[in-house]
Amino acid sequence: MNIDQFAFPPGSNKRLRSYDTASTGSYRKKEEALEKLAEDVSEIARMQDVLFAQDVYALLLIFQAMDAAGKDSAIKHVMSGVNPQGCDVHSFKAPSAEELDHDYLWRCMRALPERGRIGIFNRSYYEEVLVVRVHPEFLTRQKLPPQPTGKAFWKARYEEINHFERYLVRNGIVVMKFFLHVSKEEQRKRFLARIDEEDKNWKFSAADAKEREHWKDYMRAYEETFRHTSTSWAPWYIVPADHKWYSRIVVSEVIVKTLRALKMTYPTPTGAHQKELRAIRKRLMEES
């Protein structure tokens, strides 16, 4: 699978609607894809082990999407093989009073993965240019110094985010951003299922239905976000999400290919360490 087809080209004015939400690539059905997903999942697990041993890079995976696009289940499936000790998931909801008393990147900075680990952000600082842009009244809660909040304000936020991500990447934190791109019609079906199937009721709230009414504004905010913040150092991947099984493969393929490109290796022991190991080995052998 060529993952470049999903990357939003840096600096382009591409329309979001030119991406097909229902694509399944070269796969015709789920069963064909499951094998590939299993392969990728074990490859991610293997490389996470090297990531941890090498202790140079960290991986930051950012997931953004409209409700019911499948963020949770993508995270669950793609990371299913990874050693739980090497991985953290953080979900970012509407900010608390304490969080609002800080700059908007603060809560995400505290949750960044340390070297050797995979950090997953289920929503992120991107909410600051998405939900907050769609609902500018949220800005007033942020207690910012008085300033105009027109186009230039949002441009400044994109710029801040780009600089922040550049800083992370230069420090060894590899940033990958996924937008699970679901159609409005598919969301409608999934919402109906959440209402009709009792075991799914807990997943649905009136607030979700309310946000759906702002669909167009969200799409505009997303599009603008991708245009300004898909960069060569931290690209956005637009993942077709009408078929959950396909979106999982796309995400896992992007992770596998990106990890491979790091060409990580287990650390080679120094001469002194090798000598020490040989001595211990000899003693252990003599014990029996």
Confirm or reject binding of residue 193 to ligand ATP (CB under 6 A): no
Alpha helices in 22-136 (DSSP H): 30-54, 71-78, 97-100, 106-109, 131-134
Which of 113, 241, 104 is closest to 171 using CA atoms? 113
Confirm or reject binding of residue 210 to ligand ATP (CB under 6 A): no
* CA-based max dimension of the chain: 78
The partner residues of 238 in beta bridges, in order of sequence, read 179
Which of 220, 258, 215 is closest to 237 using CA atoms? 258
Nearer to Mg ion, 120 or 175 (CB): 120
Nearer to Mg ion, 67 or 186 (CB): 67
Could you write out the three-class secondary structure of 75-104?
A: HHHHCCCCCHHHEEEEECCCCCHHHHCCCC
Residues 64-83 that bind ligand ATP (CB under 6 A): 67, 72
Q: In what order do the strands lie in the sheet with 87-91?
A: 87-91, 118-122, 58-65, 173-181, 236-240
Confirm or reject binding of residue 278 to ligand ATP (CB under 6 A): no
Nearer to ligand ATP, 45 or 100 (CB): 100
Confirm or reject binding of residue 93 to ligand ATP (CB under 6 A): yes
Confirm or reject binding of residue 211 to Mg ion (CB under 5 A): no
Q: x/- string (CB under 6 A) for ligand ATP, residues 116-155?
A: ------xx---xx--xx-----x-----------------
Confirm or reject binding of residue 92 to ligand ATP (CB under 6 A): yes
Secondary structure E strands in the chain: 58-65, 87-91, 118-122, 173-181, 236-240
Residue nearest to ligand ATP (CB): 127
Confirm or reject binding of residue 218 to ligand ATP (CB under 6 A): no
- Structural contact between residues 178 and 222, judged by C-beta atoms closer than 8 angstroms: no
Residues 45-74 that bind Mg ion (CB under 5 A): 67
CB of 211 to Mg ion, least distance (A): 8
Question: Which spans of this chain sit near ligand ATP (rule: CB under 6 A)?
Answer: 67, 72, 91-95, 122-123, 127-128, 131-132, 138
